[in-house]
Structure 1
Amino acid sequence: MYQKNICLNTKTWVAYSTGNQGYRKLIKNPKPTADDVRRALYKRSIKRRSENTRDYYNQWSESVERDGLDFFFVVTVKAKTKDEADAKAKEIVSDNGWKEASTATYATEI
């Protein structure tokens, strides 16, 4: 099973998709709630990479820092294959007319 998260900034309608498993280490609840996931993604997002790196995660971090956690809505997509999860996430973003911040992310195994 694979998972991809779409972190939507509802102030700007920009979707920051990630399959990053770094946030999973921050969740202590074996059956996490949506708020547990949001908090963990937020904690993960505020960890910036080096100043020389202008990558997707730094853009996400800047967005969270600028607009705050209250403007983030997280949608989690799960599927049997990585390609299927990526396709479903892409479809959700495009069907809703959201702007995608990066296409260089991918679903991760859960």
Structure 2
Amino acid sequence: MSKEKQVENAELQSNSDALLDEAELLIWALLDDEIADQDAQKLEKLLTENDQVRQRYIECTQMHVDLMDHFAPQKETAGEADGDGSGIISKLIAEHLPAPGINPPVMD
């Protein structure tokens, strides 16, 4: 490969990297609800015109969703342990048991 071709390829790669970096900044601004109208229009144009930008958008969006799931407060479900190690079912049963030392009523 000629020196000129290598320089041209390096410039194209550099331009492509710069474009993806700019697009990623815009994507994260969008995902964080901090994008300005003008930037949103620019991102829309980049997404329309460039396959690599669309792929980066998918990657960033997936990472955003994964992070939201990972850091979301955990909802307790039946039988799931909470901070003190007892589950919801155990708590419900304990609330309806008589206090220690008290015998439950007996049906005759």
**Which TM-score bucket, shorter chain as reference?**
under 0.3
**TM-score normalised by structure 1 residue count:** 0.25
**TM-score normalised by structure 2 residue count:** 0.25
Q: Relative to total residues, which structure has the larger strand share, 1 or 2?
A: 1
Higher relative contact order (CA 8 A, sep 6+): 1
Larger radius of gyration: 2
Q: Relative to total residues, which structure has the larger helix share, 1 or 2?
A: 2
